[in-house]
Copies of this chain bind each other. A is one copy, B any other.
Amino acid sequence: MSHAKFQDCIQACVACAVACSHCATECLKEEDVKMLAKCIQLDLECAAICRSAAELMSLGSGLSQELCRLCTRICNECAQECEKHAAMGMEHCKECAEMCRKCAAACEQMATAA
């Protein structure tokens, strides 16, 4: 698969990593951090995988698809958690959930491409 074909997925991964790191740091400023602990944890895991997937795809690695498969899973898990808080009005969680869902979709497409 070419770098060009990877481009959309790379963009989705880096945008998701940025949103997750940002969400984590904003969650830490909220009044009820305890309630957001799981969200922060998933943000950190998701950001780490997304950064790694973006790097591997940029390098045109043969492992990109397998990493994207893992990325889809953690992105959906993180989105699901963020969506709970988005529903309560937390803007950073809303933005993060959207980026996670987009990234999950892009990574799934990448993972299953021939």
Contact = CB atoms under 8 A, between A and B. Distances in A.
Interface of A: 3, 10, 14, 17-18, 21-22, 24-26, 28-29, 31-34, 37-38, 40-41, 44-45, 47-49, 51-52, 54-56, 58-63, 66-67, 70, 73-74
B45 A56 contact: yes
Given A37-B29, A48-B52, A70-B66, A59 B21 contact: yes
Contact of A49 (B32, B40, B52, B60): B52
Contacts of A54: 14, 17-18
A66 B29 CA distance: 23
A95 to B, nearest CB: 10
